[in-house]
Amino acid sequence: MKQPMALALGAALLISGVTAAAAAGMAPKASDSLNLSAAQQKTAWNDINKTASNQTAPSGFTAMKGQTVPSALKIEPMPRTAVGAVPALRPYDFAIVSGKLLIVNPSDKKIAEVISG
């Protein structure tokens, strides 16, 4: 009687471990392109702009989708409030440069979205 119970318990633990591993693999990944709706952009701007500092763009840098953010600029993790309001922002970082919100892919520092306030 103990052996079938132990076998069932072992199987349940194995299945729950596989489920947790599969869920971890499904976490959203940042890409070099993000297309937020106008409402999502406005929400992101409002949530992030009130806490972040505006940086001056380095000479020769133009904030555009696909551009790599220069190392002179400080890139910050996405605030929880912004992620709560716009879940698509979860895997991204950001910077505010010359009055524009840059949504940045943290793996390669490329701008995925530029939002003007």
Q: What dihedral do alpha carbons 92, 31, 57, 63 form, nearest 10°? A: -130
H-helix segments, 26-115? 38-49, 80-85
pLDDT in the model for residue 50: 83
Q: How far apart are CA 117 and CA 108, in angstroms?
A: 25
- How confident is residue 30, by pLDDT bands cut at 50, 70 and 90? confident
CATH number for the domain whose boundaries are 29-116: 3.10.450.160
How large is the average pLDDT for residues 74-96? 95
User: What tokens appear for 22 in the block?
Assistant: 């599969």
> How far apart, in Å, are the Cα atoms of 37 and each of 34, 41, 103, 109?
10, 6, 14, 22
Of residues 37 and 21, more confidently modeled: 37
**pLDDT, mean of residues 88-110:** 96
Per-residue pLDDT at 29: 87
pLDDT at residue 51 in the model? 80
The answer to whether 101 and 94 have CB atoms below 8 angstroms apart is yes
Residue 4 phi, psi dihedral angles, 5° rounding = -60, -35
Domain boundaries in the chain?
Answer: 29-116
What integer best gives the mean pLDDT of the chain?
Answer: 83
> What pTM was estimated for this model as a whole?
0.75
Report the first-to-last Cα separation within the chain, whole angstroms.
68
Find the mean pLDDT for residues 11-37: 62
